[in-house]
């Protein structure tokens, strides 16, 4: 048989008797060659009757069990010709009760009359024993197309037309035997009547003629026959019984396909074969019915509200059915329904929805492919019916969160705005297994098999339903397909299929990491990702490996990743430099976050400034993001700021924070910010900045330009670093740093002093008065004025303190190797170690006591220098002071009086400040600020002594007056 024709035949005729079959075959127009159906062995021909394409089957070789033959033939027929919608069965061994209207030669059609069914099946033995009919099945309402055909045959015009057709066909028919030809001609000579009434079918006829007449008379049976009497009792569940009872129509028979009835669950071979076809069956169904069972209480209120919603939407202009489920208009429509029901209805409606969602149907694995493949679904319960697309949008419309399992089922229901093709985009087997891991199945293998019909990656039948396989074998096949290899015999990833479903995201993650760490080809990686569902979060360094495989792999990876790790600054910058196009794909993910985003944005401007707006979209507040990014870019200079501004799709609001920051870096940055602002900005109270053709200027509260004078600089010093820097940066030339301004700046702290020294004419002069003020201000000011002191003076107290602390650490935690206390001692050469009380106290932290013993030993050899001798050496000049300070066997302890004298001689004060800081500035010596030199060669050796003396002499000369 040519398979391409099998979908073009909607009508079937079943003729079990060979002679009936031959006669019918001879009357076919355009007949095709006869063949035999595979399972039943029935003969089959097809052709035309009038304008209709008709399939003819039958021709039983053994008439003993003709009803079984008919049953097998019909099953075979429907599989070979799925398009059949109507069928006619020619009865066998028909007999009529005495009182029947039917006589030999009449045509009797099983057709309902009044309240009587058209055809019944009954048990012969039970009927014989009880003397009354024992009905096992009845058909009361044939399809409307059958009714139309029968009514036409019963009419006078219809009989005449049919008679002429038979006469014409018989004259051209080619009969296999003379007997069949004669039989047909005899029938044509008789005026055959077409009668409609009840036909009773059983596997065998009554032997008792009286019983035949009695049963026929009492039950208004027109004739008995035995072709349509396949007596098989099939047990069904209570739920299915309820469904069938509610789904039956009062005025006609209804054709339903129910898997529990249409698949022999006891036949393993048939079960596996039919399961693989279920997806196609549901795709071809005109309508898929979801039976939820009995509901009451608040579910009744919800059903009424749904009916109101449907009526309300039906009156709207446009096409509400095309609104996506997530469309906010559904929420608006539902609020109108709630408003019409009263202010206290919501709790009841929500409870009603929960009642629907708690029905067992939502947890059954087999229901998934029913709704997933459906073109049109309808939800039915005892309260009535709801279109599937309306039912599926209820949680969104009602703003109610249902369980993950229920929502997953609702998501795959058909919707007019979602074509079936788009609903299938992410339906690979692994994704389905994870998404529906909460489903229940009596047979654990059905957790896999029930999903095959809706999985988009099963077109090549990589996994087929086979109930001969044990669960463990099915699980291994599944693992091999998804991961691409077998698991270790001694390391099973899961104990059963359900456990495997729960672990799939982690299994996918581990395999992906292995592949990324190796040298897998990109095409193999793509094939692997195609088969994955959700992949749990991988560490951010693996993103770099993913990017090496290009945009396609990155898109597939992101599609499978539920969430992303935060991308570190270093990894982000490396990815941006090497794979900029792929990195942009990563940035499209709304949940993509980068550590220290402001810093990343600024540095990204150096590599790919056009990326800026992509980064902006990651932010929940784009305006604030642009502001913070520009603020961060200011310290990096003009090119970075300019690149950022050039790539902003929207204008950046220039703030006074930006201007305050910019005034400490470069005039040009301040210039472009003010040009971007396009209007004066109040940077401080009553002080405004605005761009001018030649640069920028400060305006007062009246918006008049302010001229920068020495007096104004003095006011700026008193106001603080920010205002001072504003005045200084506005000046086109540097300022001469006079002593009074110098002293003012020192008094107002390091920040103010830095502003002044940065903008003044170099070199500036440190007078004795200025130095005295610096001493009074403290070590921080002095260190800024004399930054070279620590490096010129070799081993400082800070260095020794840091070396002691380093030596106290466990050996494996030391970061500087030989730069411990004893390493420092070996590098001293001719320099003398200044042992202060602070160093002695630090040495007590050494558990080995070696440092304390060494320092104590050195200290015992020393005698404190008297105040008179120390002061005399300081006043005599650098050479005398240096000689006494470094004299072996002496301890130049700094007292209050010595400090006061040294502060008038900066060369001495500078040496003591760094060599014996804890005594000069006891409150400013912090262990956290004690640092070792990075290398031992930074420590001054004897060869550098002359350089030190020259430096000391230079300070002495500068401060002699």
Provide the residue ranges of all domains of the chain, joining segments of one domain with +: 3-232, 259-271+278-414, 424-536, 789-958
Q: How far is CA 812 from CA 18, 808, 866, 936, 958, in A?
A: 100, 11, 44, 20, 48
Q: What is the pLDDT of residue 937?
A: 42
The DSSP secondary-structure symbol of 8 reads G
pLDDT the model gives residue 113: 83
CA angle 686, 690, 693 (to 5 degrees): 150
Residues of the chain with pLDDT under 50: 420-424, 817-818, 934-948, 951-952, 955-961
CATH class of 3-232: alpha beta
CA distances from 837 to 608, 856, 896 (A): 57, 10, 15
Q: What is the pLDDT, as a whole number, of residue 174?
A: 59
Nearest CA-CA partner of 818 in 939, 944, 943? 939
Instruction: Tell me how crowded residue 347 is: count the other CB atoms within 10 A of its CB.
Output: 9
pLDDT of residue 340: 92
Q: Is the alpha carbon torsion for 193, 194, 195, 200 positive or negative? A: positive
How far apart (Å, rounded) are the C-alpha atoms in residues 40 and 254? 26
* Max Cα–Cα distance, the chain, nearest Å: 158
At 753, is the secondary structure helix, strand, or coil? helix
Q: How far apart are CA 171 and CA 178, in angstroms?
A: 13
Angle (nearest 5°) at CA 258 between 36 and 136: 80
Q: For position 459, what pLDDT does the model report? A: 74
Q: What is the pLDDT of residues 496-510, one digit of tens each?
A: 999 999 999 999 999
3-state secondary structure of 92: coil
Spatial distance between the Cα atoms of 135 and 201, rounded to a whole number of angstroms: 10
In angstroms, how far is CA 247 from the centroid of its own chain?
Answer: 40
Q: What is the model's pTM?
A: 0.56
- Going by C-alpha positions, the residue among 653, 674, 651 that lies closest to residue 726 is 674
d(CA 291, CA 214): 42
Residue 103 CA to residue 222 CA, distance in Å, equals: 10
Alpha-carbon 535 to chain mean position: 9
* DSSP bridge pairs for 863: 890
- The DSSP call for residue 886 is T
The SS3 of residue 116 is strand
Helices 522-530 and 497-517 cross at an angle (nearest 10°) of 160
- E strands in 163-237: 194-201, 221-225
Closest CA to 887 of 862, 905, 850, 910: 862
| C-alpha of 698 from chain center | 53
Residue 251, both tokens: 């005025």
Residues 6+ apart with CB under 8 A from 516: 525, 542, 545, 546
């Amino acid at each position: 048989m040519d398979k391409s024709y099998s979908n073009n035949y909607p009508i079937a005729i079943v003729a079990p008797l060979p002679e009936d079959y031959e006669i019918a075959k001879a009357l076919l127009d355009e007949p095709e060659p006869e063949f035999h159906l595979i399972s039943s062995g029935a003969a089959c021909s097809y052709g035309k009757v009038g304008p209709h394409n008709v399939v003819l089957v039958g021709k039983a070789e053994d008439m003993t069990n003709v009803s079984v033959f008919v049953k097998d033939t019909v099953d075979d027929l429907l599989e070979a010709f799925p398009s059949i919608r109507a069928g006619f069965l020619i009865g066998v061994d028909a007999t009529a009760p005495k009182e029947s209207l039917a006589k030999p030669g009449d045509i009797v059609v099983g057709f309902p009359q009044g309240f009587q069914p058209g055809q019944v099946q009954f048990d012969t033995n039970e009927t014989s024993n009880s003397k009354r009919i024992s009905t096992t099945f009845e058909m009361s309402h044939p399809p409307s197309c059958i009714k139309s055909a029968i009514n036409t045959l019963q009419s006078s015009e219809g009989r005449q037309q049919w008679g002429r057709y038979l006469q014409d066909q018989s004259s051209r028919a080619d009969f296999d035997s003379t007997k069949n030809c004669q039989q047909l001609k005899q029938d044509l000579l008789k005026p055959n009547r077409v009668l409609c009434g009840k036909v009773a079918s059983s596997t065998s006829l009554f032997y008792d003629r009286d019983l035949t007449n009695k049963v026929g008379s009492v039950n208004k049976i027109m004739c008995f026959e035995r072709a349509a009497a396949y007596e098989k009792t099939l047990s069904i569940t209570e739920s299915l019984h309820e469904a069938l009872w509610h789904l039956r129509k009062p005025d006609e028979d209804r054709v339903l396909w129910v898997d529990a009835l249409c698949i022999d669950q006891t036949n393993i071979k048939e079960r596996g074969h039919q399961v693989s076809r279920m997806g196609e069956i549901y795709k071809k169904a005109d309508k898929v019915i979801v039976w939820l069972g009995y509901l009451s209480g608040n579910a009744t209120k919800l059903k009424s509200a749904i009916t109101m919603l449907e009526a309300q939407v039906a009156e709207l202009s446009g096409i509400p059915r095309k609104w996506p489920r997530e469309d906010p208009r559904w929420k608006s429509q539902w609020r109108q329904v709630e408003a019409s029901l009263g202010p206290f209805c919501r709790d009841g409606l929500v409870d009603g929805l929960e009642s629907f969602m708690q029905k067992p149907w939502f947890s059954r694995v087999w229901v998934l492919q029913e709704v997933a493949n459906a073109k049109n679904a309808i939800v039915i319960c005892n309260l009535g019916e709801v279109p599937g697309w309306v039912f599926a949008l209820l949680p969104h419309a009602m703003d109610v969160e249902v369980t993950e399992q229920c929502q997953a089922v609702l998501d795959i229901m058909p919707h007019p705005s979602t074509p079936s093709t788009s609903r299938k985009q992410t339906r690979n087997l692994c994704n389905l297994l994870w998404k529906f891991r909460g489903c229940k199945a009596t047979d654990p293998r059905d957790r896999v098999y029930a999903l095959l019909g809706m999985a988009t990656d099963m077109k090549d039948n990589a996994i087929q339903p086979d109930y001969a396989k044990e669960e463990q074998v099915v699980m291994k096949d599944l693992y091999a397909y998804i991961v691409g290899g077998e698991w270790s015999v001694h390391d099973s990833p899961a104990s059963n299929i359900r456990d495997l479903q729960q672990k799939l995201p982690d299994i996918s993650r581990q395999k992906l990491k292995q592949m990324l760490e190796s040298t897998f080809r990109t095409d193999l990686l793509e094939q692997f990702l195609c088969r994955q569902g959700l992949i749990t979060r991988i560490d951010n360094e693996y993103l770099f490996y993913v990017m090496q495989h290009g945009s396609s792999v990155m898109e597939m990876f992101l599609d499978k990743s539920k969430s992303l790790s935060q991308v570190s600054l270093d990894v982000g910058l490396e990815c941006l430099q090497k794979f900029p196009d792929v990195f942009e794909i990563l940035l499209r993910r709304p949940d993509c976050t980068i550590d220290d985003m402001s810093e990343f944005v600024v540095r990204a401007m150096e590599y790919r400034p056009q990326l800026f707006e992509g980064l902006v979209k990651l932010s929940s507040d784009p305006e604030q993001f642009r502001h913070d990014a520009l603020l961060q870019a200011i310290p990096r200079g003009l090119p970075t700021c300019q690149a950022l501004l050039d790539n902003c799709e929207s204008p950046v609001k220039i703030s006074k924070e930006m201007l305050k920051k910019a005034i400490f870096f470069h005039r040009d940055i301040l210039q472009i910010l003010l040009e971007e602002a396009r209007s004066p900005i109040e940077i401080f109270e009553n002080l405004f900045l605005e761009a001018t053709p030649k640069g920028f200027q400060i305006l007062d509260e009246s918006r008049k330009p302010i001229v920068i004078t020495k007096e104004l600089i003095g006011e700026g010093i008193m106001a603080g670093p920010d205002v001072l820097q504003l005045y200084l940066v506005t000046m086109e030339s540097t300022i001469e740093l006079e002593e009074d301004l110098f002293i003012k700046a020192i008094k107002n702290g390091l920040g103010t002093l830095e502003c002044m020294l940065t903008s003044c004419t170099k070199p500036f002069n440190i007078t004795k008065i200025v130095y005295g003020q610096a001493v009074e201000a403290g070590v921080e000011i002095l260190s800024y004025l004399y930054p070279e002191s620590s490096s010129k003076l070799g081993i400082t107290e800070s260095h020794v303190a840091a070396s002691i602390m380093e030596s106290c650490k466990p050996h494996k935690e030391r970061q500087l190797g030989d730069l411990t206390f004893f390493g420092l001692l070996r590098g001293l050469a001719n320099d003398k170690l200044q042992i202060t009380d602070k160093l002695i106290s630090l040495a007590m932290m050494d558990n080995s006591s070696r440092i304390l013993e060494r320092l104590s030993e050195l200290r015992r050899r020393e005698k404190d220098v008297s105040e008179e001798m120390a002061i005399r050496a300081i006043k005599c000049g650098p050479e005398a002071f240096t000689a006494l300070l470094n004299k072996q066997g002496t301890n130049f302890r700094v007292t209050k009086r010595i400090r006061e004298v040294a502060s008038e001689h900066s060369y001495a004060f500078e040496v003591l400040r760094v060599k014996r800081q804890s005594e000069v500035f006891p409150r400013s010596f912090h262990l956290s600020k004690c640092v070792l030199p990075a290398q031992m060669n930074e420590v001054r050796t004897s060869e550098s002594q002359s350089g030190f003396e020259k430096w000391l002499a230079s300070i002495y000369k500068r401060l002699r007056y």
